[in-house]
């Protein structure tokens, strides 16, 4: 590991039941980058994000975040994960969901966070009373609210029309400019085209970027 590495995987293999989901994955990623995991459904993208987030342990190999094992170090200001399902608290408002990590840390959320994601008009609405696309953007706001060192996002443009995809892409590039390592798992060519580093996955194997 070099001083520039923020996330590093060393010979990571993950087996689920009789299926090898990931096989011998090694990579290193520095801060302030947009790294894109690209591949078909079932290629291991979501599993790789969960390993980086420390919410799962690899069957073998090592996952390090800032030089420490990823497992047990999942904190919103260090490593923030956006799963495929938004996983909001339905009884809380859009603003309360988006700002929750900041409130728990006793910090003031960015005043323009909801506006940047087209959510300012929905701030006081309960999350259960919003569309799936709106819930997804609320979850993205929650993921980025503390400007984490690492933001891991699974299909961040899902359920968005073109206008809101543009807002999501701007939010991701703004986070990178602020120093965040953004790792996105996606099928969306618009995110792939913005990647600083493309990480193609095929059947659990990391292939050289074309």
* Tens-digit pLDDT profile for residues 84-101: 998 999 999 999 999 999
Flag whether pLDDT at 52 surpasses 70: yes
**Which residues fall within 8 angstroms of residue 164, CB to CB, at 6 or more apart?**
117, 118, 133, 137
Single out the residue of 9, 151, 156, 172 nearest to residue 78, CA to CA. 151
Which stretches does DSSP call E strand in the chain?
7-16, 19-29, 34-38, 60-65, 68-69, 79-82, 150-154, 181-186, 197-202, 205-206
pLDDT band for position 71 (cuts 50, 70, 90): confident
**Domain range list for the chain:** 7-202
How far is it, in rounded angstroms, from Cα 184 to Cα 189? 12
User: pLDDT by residue (tens digit) across 102-126?
Assistant: 999 999 999 999 999 999 999 999 9
Beta pairing class for 7-16 and 19-29: antiparallel
- Averaged over 142-157, what is the pLDDT? 97
Q: How confident is the model at residue 76 (pLDDT cuts 50, 70, 90)?
A: confident
Please, which pLDDT band fits residue 1 given cuts at 50, 70 and 90?
very low
Paired with 65 in beta bridges are: 7, 68
Write down the CATH number for the domain with range 7-202: 3.40.50.300
Look at the pTM and tell me if it is higher than 0.85. yes
């Amino acid at each position: 590991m070099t001083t520039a590495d923020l996330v590093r995987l060393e010979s990571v293999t993950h087996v689920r039941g009789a299926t090898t989901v990931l096989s011998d994955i090694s990579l290193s990623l520095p801060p302030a980058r947009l790294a894109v995991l690209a591949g078909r459904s079932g290629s291991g993208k979501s599993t790789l994000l969960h390993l980086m987030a420390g919410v799962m342990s690899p069957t073998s190999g090592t996952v390090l975040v800032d030089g420490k094992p990823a497992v047990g170090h999942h904190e919103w200001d260090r490593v923030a994960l956006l799963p495929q399902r938004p996983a909001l608290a339905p009884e809380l408002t859009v603003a309360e969901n988006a700002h929750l990590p900041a409130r728990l840390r006793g910090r003031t959320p960015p005043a323009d966070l909801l506006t940047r994601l087209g959510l300012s008009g929905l701030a006081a609405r309960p999350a259960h009373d919003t569309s799936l696309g709106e819930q997804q953007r609320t979850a993205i706001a929650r993921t980025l609210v503390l400007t984490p060192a690492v933001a891991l996002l699974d299909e961040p443009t899902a359920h968005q029309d073109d206008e809101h995809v543009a807002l999501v892409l701007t939010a991701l590039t703004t986070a990178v400019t602020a120093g965040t390592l953004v790792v996105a798992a996606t099928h969306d060519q618009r995110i792939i085209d913005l990647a600083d580093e493309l990480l193609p996955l095929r059947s659990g194997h990391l292939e050289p970027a074309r």
